[in-house]
Amino acid sequence: MGRAKKVVLAYSGGVDTSVCIPYLQHEWGVEEVITLAADLGQGDELAPIKEKALNSGASISLVVDGIETFVTDYAFPAIQANALYENQYPLSTALARPLIAKMLVEAAEEYGADAVAHGCTGKGNDQVRFDVSIAALNPNLKVLTPAREWGMSREETIAYGEKYGIPAPVKKSSPYSIDKNLLGRAIEAGVLEDPWAEPPEEVYEMTTAIADTPDEPAYVEISFEKGIPVALNGTAYDPVALITEMNQLAGQHGVGRIDMIENRLVGIKSREIYETPALSVLIQAHRDLESLVLTPDLSQYKRTLEETYAKLVYNGQWYSPLKEALDAFIQKTQERVSGTVRVKLFKGLSSAVGRKSANSIYSPDLATYGAEDKFDHKAAEGFVYVWGLPTRVWAEVGRQ
C-alpha cells in the first residue's frame, strides 16, 4: 500500500523536485505523479521544464501561468499593508508560496489526486508555507514531502536520479541557493553563510552595482488608486507591466538590495540577500502617500498591524482567519489612499521627494509659519495646560 495513489507535485525543474518523481513512485508506491510548474515571472523557460518532468516519469506535466494573479492578489495587498518582515524583507518569496499551494490544491481537485507534494527540506520556511496553506485550502489532502524525509546528500540525490534517467546537472551548480520570481530574488548559502563577508557582486542580477549606476538621478512619479499602484510617470500600466518597469527603473540605479540576518520560523538564523527593486520602492512610496491622507491615529495603529501582517505572511498564515481579518481592516484604510508620489532614484537610494493627493489632509494654512497662518495659537495654551496636567500633578507630589 502506497502513501497515496495520485499526487500533484510542485515542480521547478531542479534536481530535487525531479528526483521526487521516481522517489514518490518507487519508494512510496505512488501510482501517478502529475507535476505542476508555476510561472510567477521567474524568467525560466517553461517548455523544457515541462518536458523534463515527463522524462522524469510524470504522467502529466502542467505549467500554470500565475503571474498576474501573483501581482494583483498577493503583491498588491502586501504593498497596501507595507509588509516588511523584520522591517526589511518585502516577502518576495513568502508571497509566492500560498499561490503555488492554491494551484496545487486546484489541480489535485481537478485531477482527482489524493495528495499533493513539494520538494522543500525541513530547515526552511517554505515547507511551513506550503503545508499550512494546503491544509487551509483543503484539509483532506495529504501532503507528501520526500525531500524532508529521504535524508540523501546532494551527491546521493543526484546518483538516485541518474538511476531513473534524470541527468546530473550539466553546469557546475552555483554555490548559492537562489529563489526568484517577478517580485525579486533571494540568495543564500556559499560565502554568504559568513555574516561578516560582504556579498560578492556576482550574487546580484536585478540591480546594478553602485559603481556602475548613472551619475544623474532618475525621478519616477508613482500613482496609486486605493493603495494600488496604477501608473508610472502619468502612464497607466497593467499590474505585471508596472512591476516589470519599476524593477527595471529602480534596478538600474542599484535600488532594492537587502542584506540581512533573518529569523526563520524554524528557529534558525539565516543570512539572506534580496533584490526587490520594484517592491521596495512601491512600499516606500505607498507608505509616504499614506502619511499625507491618513489621520495620525489611523496611520499609527495601522503601523502596528503591518508588523503582524508581515509576520503572518512570513510564517505561512496567508489563509489564516487573522490574516483575513487584517485584510478587511487594511482594505478599509485604503479608501482614500489615492494620489501620486515622486521618488528619486540615485546610487542605490530611493527617496520620496514629493507627494500629492486629492484626499490630502495636510493643511498648508495650518502648517505654515508665514502670515497666512490659520492656526489658533491661543487654543494651544489651554490644550497644553490640560495635556500636561497629570505630569504637573505627579511632579508636585514628588517634590513634597
Q: Which three cell numbers stand for residue 62?
A: 502542467
Q: Is 357 in the site for ligand ARG (CB under 6 A)?
A: no
In the chain, the DSSP E strands lie at 6-10, 32-39, 60-65, 115-117, 142-144, 177-181, 184-188, 218-225, 228-232, 235-236, 257-263, 269-275, 339-346, 349-356
Helix (H, G, I), strand (E, B) or coil at 377: helix
* Cβ 31 vs Cβ 24: under 8 Å: no
Contact between 125 and ligand ARG (CB under 6 A)? yes
Catalytic residue among 61, 92, 97, 131: 97
Q: Kindly state whether residue 94 participates in binding ligand ARG, applying the rule CB under 6 A.
A: yes
126 annotated ligand binder: yes
Which entry of 3, 59, 148, 177 is annotated as an active-site residue? Answer: 177
User: What long-range pairs does 23-26 form, CB within 8 A, spacing at least 24?
Assistant: 23/146, 23/150, 23/160, 24/117, 24/144, 24/146, 25/57, 26/164
Minimum CB separation of residue 188 from ligand ARG in Å reads 4
Q: Tell me which DSSP letter residue 298 carries.
A: H
The response to whether 14 counts as a known ligand-binding position is yes
CA–CA–CA angle 87, 286, 187 (5° rounding): 45
126 an active-site residue?
yes
Question: Which positions from 188 to 207 touch ligand ARG by CB under 6 A, shown as an x/- string?
Answer: x-------------------
Q: How far is the CB of 187 from ligand ARG (least distance, A)?
A: 6
Confirm whether residue 299 is marked as ligand binding.
Answer: no
Q: Tell me, yes or no, if 65 is annotated catalytic.
A: no
State how far the Cα of 271 lies from the Cα of 257, in Å rounded to an integer.
13
CB-CB contact of 85 with 115 (8 Å): no
Size of the site for ligand ARG (CB under 6 A): 11
Residue whose CB is less far from ligand ARG, 12 or 213? 12
- Asked if 16 interacts with ligand ARG (CB under 6 A), we say no
User: Within a 13 Å sphere around the CA of 150, how many CA atoms are in the beta-carbon half?
Assistant: 28
Q: Is 10 annotated as ligand-binding?
A: yes
Is there a binding annotation on residue 17? yes
Q: Is 99 in the site for ligand ARG (CB under 6 A)?
A: no
Q: Which is nearer to ligand ARG, 63 or 265 (CB)?
A: 265
The grid cell for 63 is 505549467
**Could you tell me whether strands 184-188 and 218-225 are parallel, antiparallel, or unpaired per DSSP bridges?**
unpaired
Burial of 260 (0-12, 13-18, 19+ CB in 10 A): middle
Q: Which of 126, 131, 179, 288 is catalytic?
A: 126
> Under a CB-based contact definition with an 8 Å cutoff, are residues 18 and 61 in contact?
no
* Closest to ligand ARG by CB, 257 or 336: 257
Write out the binding residues for ligand ARG, residues 238-297 only, by CB under 6 A.
262, 272
The footprint of ligand ARG on residues 147-186 (CB under 6 A) is 177-179, 186
Active site annotation includes 238: no
The Cα 171–Cα 103 span in angstroms is 31
Per the annotation, the verdict on 44 as an active-site residue is no
Residues that are catalytic: 16, 97, 126, 177
Per the annotation, binding residues are: 10-18, 38, 89, 119, 121, 125-126, 129, 177, 262, 274
Binding residues for L-citrulline: 89, 125, 129, 177, 262, 274
Binding site for ligand ARG (CB under 6 A): 93-94, 125, 177-179, 186-188, 262, 272
Binding site feature residues for L-aspartate: 121, 125-126
